[in-house]
Amino acid sequence: MSESDSVLIGRKPVMNYVLACITSFHGGSKEVSVKTRGKAISGAIDVVEVVKRRFLPDIKVSRIGIGTEQLPREGYQASKVNTIEITLKR
C-alpha cells in the first residue's frame, strides 16, 4: 500500500495502462501519476480520460506538468523531447 504510484505510458494498448491505474487505486494508492514523453502523450491523455469517465468517476486530476528533456545522441546534437505528467487523486 503506497501513497503514490506511477504508470509509464509506452506503446502498449491504452487499456493495459487503464488497468494499471485502476489496480493501483484499488491497491490503496491515494495518487497515481501517469507519465510519458514524445509521441505517447496523446495515449496518456486517453488513459486518464478512460479512467475518469468509464471506471472511476470519483477520480480528479490534481496536477498536470509539462516539460522538455534533452536526450543525448552519439555523434549528433542532443534531441529535445516533450514530456507530460498527469497526477490523478482519489
Q: How many alpha carbons fall within 13 Å on the CB side of residue 73?
A: 9
Domain 4-89 = CATH 3.30.110.20: yes
Tell me what pLDDT residue 2 has: 59
Which one-letter DSSP state was computed for residue 40? G
Would you report the helix, strand and coil content of the chain in percent, each value rounded to 5? 35, 40, 25
Bridge partner list, 86: 34, 64
Domain boundary assignment for the chain: 4-89
Average pLDDT per 10 consecutive residues for the chain, totaling 90 residues: 82 97 95 97 97 96 97 89 97
Residue whose entry in the numeric block shows the C-alpha cell 490534481: 62
